[in-house]
Amino acid sequence: MTRNNIVFTNYKYLPSIITTIMCNIHNISSFTVQVADWLFFNSQRL
């Protein structure tokens, strides 16, 4: 396998890798917001 083939294969998979990373970041941030909301709600109830 030549170097050009490896580079081409990496570029082919790059969009899906970026999409996966972005989805993970989105899930983590929404999870953080949920936890913050829950903590805030419980602190208000005390």
pLDDT digit string, tens, across residues 1-46: 577 777 777 778 888 888 999 999 999 999 999 999 999 998 887 6
Residue 5 lies in a domain: yes
Residue 41 lies in a domain: no
Residue 18 lies in a domain: yes
CA distances from 16 to 19, 28, 29, 32 (A): 5, 18, 20, 24
Residue 36 lies in a domain: no
Residue 35 lies in a domain: no
Residue 45 lies in a domain: no
Residue 42 lies in a domain: no
Domain count, the chain: 1
Residue 7 lies in a domain: yes
- Stated pTM of the model: 0.49
Domain coverage including residue 22 = 1-30
pLDDT computed for residue 46 by the predictor: 66
pLDDT computed for residue 36 by the predictor: 93
